Amino acid sequence: MIHSEEEEEEEEEEMDDGDGASELWSLCKRWRGMFETRLVKEIGNGNDSKFLYRAFRDARWAIERAKIRVEKRFNISEFTSISQMEFAWDNYRWGVGWVGTQKHFCSRVAGMNKLEYLVFGREK
């Protein structure tokens, strides 16, 4: 869904650009053209675009305007940090057959060939 400029202006009025605004949100609002043409289109793998899409409304609108396809699920094999692994662990579909087991989760992580990620999965 693409939003009109009128809706975006109303959104700007609702969102105070004061001390509570995140730096990423400020970048998106102040440098909209650069944000949409450079950052959004060059953010990397599908997981990065999905994280950005979930971050805040203006990022979602920018991704929609750029016509970037956001996957419904994260791809564990593309994660690049322990914090992303923690996110995957906390949001994994546990208890759904073999796919919902710790063994399956760890088998997906093992395919990454990163020992620290596998240790994280086994210790949880």
Same domain, 48 and 93: no
The predicted structure's pLDDT at residue 5: 54
The predicted structure's pLDDT at residue 17: 44
Same domain, 82 and 60: no
Range(s) of the domain holding residue 52: 5-65
Does residue 70 lie in a domain region?
no
Does residue 102 lie in a domain region?
yes
Q: Give 1's contacts (C-beta < 8 A, 6+ positions apart).
A: 64
The larger pLDDT score, comparing residue 66 to residue 12, is at 66
Query: Per the structure, how many domains does the chain have?
Result: 2
Mean pLDDT, rounded, of the chain: 76
pTM (predicted TM-score) = 0.58
Q: What is the DSSP letter of 101?
A: S
Task: Say whether pLDDT at 74 is over 60.
Answer: yes
The encoded tokens of residue 88 equal 């995957």
Same domain, 58 and 81: no
Contact 84, 91 (CB under 8 A): no
- If pLDDT is split at 50, 70 and 90, which confidence band does 13 have? very low
Same domain, 13 and 37: yes
Same domain, 80 and 51: no
Same domain, 80 and 119: yes
Among 19, 26, 14, 91, which residue's Cα sits nearest to residue 59? 26
Of 23, 46, 65, which marks where a domain is finished?
65
Q: Give 50's contacts (C-beta < 8 A, 6+ positions apart).
A: 70, 71, 74
